[in-house]
Structure 1
C-alpha cells in the first residue's frame, strides 16, 4: 500500500492507495518541522491516524510538507514517518513541489501557495528550478492567511476596524489584547493562530474593509515575490491553498493589474497529487 500526503502548517491531507487500487482519504493536523519536533509528530500521528489503518502494511510514503526544504528539517518529519510506518520506504519533500506537481503536472510553469503561509516557484515539469524565499510569517509570507490575519488582529487591537465590524470581531472571538499576546508569544503555532482569522474577512465581506485588506496583502505578494521572477508575465498564476481559493476573485483582479494571466486555482492539491503519482509519473518518488 502507498500513502501520498500533503502537509500544510494547519492541516495534512492523506490518501492511502490500497493494493486493489482503492483510494482512502483522511486528514490530520499539519506538521511543520519549524514548529513541531519528531516526538510531537509521532504522538499526533498515533492519535489522529484512522484506527483501522494497517500501518505495518504500508510499503511507501510520499510526504510533501511545509517547512521540508532543508535536510535537517526533512529528517525531523521523515524520522516520525519511519517510526509510525515501520515497513515503508519514506520520501519527504517540500509542499511547494507538491503544489507545482498538482497544479502543473508534467508541464513547466509558475506555481504558488497561498494558505496559512505563502510560497512561489518556477517549475520545469519535474522539479522546482527557482524559489524566492517567502521568509515566513515573521518577515514575509505576503498574501498568506497569517499575513492577512496579522493586519486584521493589529487593527482590532488598536480599535481601527470599521464601525460595527469591531463589535462583530469581539463577539465572535471574545479575545482581549492580553489573550492575543498570550497566543502569539506564549503558545505554540502563532502562525496558525493568525491565519485562522482570515476566514473572518471571508465571512464578513459585506464590509469594504475586508476586500481592502485582502487586496493589499495580494498586492504585497506580487510586489515582494511574484514580480521578482524573470519574465513573470510570460506565465500564468497557478495557486493552491484556502486563501487563494476563497479570495480568488481578488487574486484574479490583482493578477490582471500585474499583466499575469490567471491559471488553475485549487483549495487542496491532494487529488491532483494522487493523479500525478498514479497516472502522470507513477514511478516518481520525491
Structure 2
C-alpha cells in the first residue's frame, strides 16, 4: 500500500492506494513546518488519521507540503511521518512540485499555487527549474487567500470598508479591530486566520464591486511582483492550482489575459492528478 498526500498550510488531502489499486481519500489539517513542530504533526496525525487506516501495511508515503522547501524543514516532516508510518519509506517534497506535476504531468511549463499561500515556478517536466520566493504571508504571498484576507482586514480596522460590508462583517464574525490585531500578532497560525476571510469576500454579495476590486488588485499584485519577473513568461500558459485561484477564476483569467498570458489548466486540488502522476507517469520515487 502507498500513500500520496498534498499538504497546504490549512488542509492536507491524502489518498491511500492498496494492492488492488483501490483509492481511499481522506483529509487532515495542513502541516507547514514553518508553523508547526514534529511533535505537533505526530499528535495531529494520530488524532486525525482514519481509525481503520492500516498503518502497518503502508510501505511508501509520498508527501508534498507547503513549507517543505529546505533540508531542515523537510527533515522535520520526515521525522514526524516516520514516527507514524513506521513501516514506510517516506518521501517529502514541496507542494509547489506537487502542483507542477499535477498541472503539467511530465510536460514543461509555468505552474502556480493560489491557496492559503502563493507560489510559482517554471517546471522542466520533472522538477522545479526556476522559483521566485513568494516571501510567505508577512513579506509577500500576493494573490493568496491570506493576502486577500489581509487586505479585507486592513480595510476593516482602518474604517475603509463600505458601511454595508462592514455591517455584514460584524454580524458574521463579531470581531473588533483589537480582536483582529490580537489574532494576527499574538495568537498562533495568523496565516490561516487571515486566509479564512477570503471566503467572506467570495460569499459577500452586498457590494460586489468592492469584493471584485479586492480580488483583482490582489491578483494584479501577484502578477506585478511575481509572475512577470519570470523570463519570457508570456511564452507559457498560466496553470494554477488552489481554492483561491479556482473560486475567483473569472477575475484571475481577466488578469492573466491583461498580462499577455493564455489561461491553461486551473484546478482546485492536485490530489487526483498527483495520484495519476505517481501511478502512471512516474511510479515510485523510492
TM-score range, shorter chain: over 0.9
Partner of 1:252: 253
**Shift of the alpha carbon at 1:178?**
1.7
**Shift of the alpha carbon at 1:161?**
1.1
**Which SS does the other structure have where 2:120 is aligned?**
strand
Report if aligned partners of 2:91, 2:285 keep a CA contact under 8 Å in 1: no
What CA distance in whole angstroms lies between the structure 2 residues aligned with 1:283 and 1:67? 22
Report if aligned partners of 2:3, 2:17 keep a CA contact under 8 Å in 1: yes
Range moving further from structure 2, 247-256 or 199-208: 199-208
What CA distance in whole angstroms lies between the structure 1 residues aligned with 2:177 and 2:284? 52
What CA distance in whole angstroms lies between the structure 2 residues aligned with 1:274 and 1:94? 16
TM-score of the aligned structures, taking structure 1 as reference length: 0.98
Deviations 1:153-207 (A, max 9, x none): 0101122111311000011011111211121122111000000000111101452
Range moving further from structure 2, 170-179 or 262-271: 170-179
Q: How does 1:1-286 map to 2 (within 5 A)?
A: 1-205=1-205, 206-285=207-286
What CA distance in whole angstroms lies between the structure 1 residues aligned with 2:106 and 2:47? 36
Q: Which runs of 5+ in 2 are unaligned?
A: none
| Stretches (4+) displaced over 3 A | none
Report if aligned partners of 2:4, 2:61 keep a CA contact under 8 Å in 1: yes
**Shift of the alpha carbon at 1:283?**
3.5
What CA distance in whole angstroms lies between the structure 2 residues aligned with 1:177 and 1:17? 47
**Which SS does the other structure have where 1:51 is aligned?**
coil
What CA distance in whole angstroms lies between the structure 2 residues aligned with 1:46 and 1:213? 39
What CA distance in whole angstroms lies between the structure 2 residues aligned with 1:266 and 1:136? 22
Report if aligned partners of 2:256, 2:262 keep a CA contact under 8 Å in 1: yes
TM-score of the aligned structures, taking structure 2 as reference length: 0.98
Task: Report the aligned-residue RMSD.
Answer: 0.8
Report if aligned partners of 2:106, 2:126 keep a CA contact under 8 Å in 1: yes
What CA distance in whole angstroms lies between the structure 1 residues aligned with 2:284 and 2:83? 24
The number of residues matched between the two structures is 285
**Shift of the alpha carbon at 1:67?**
0.2
Q: Which runs of 5+ in 1 are unaligned?
A: none
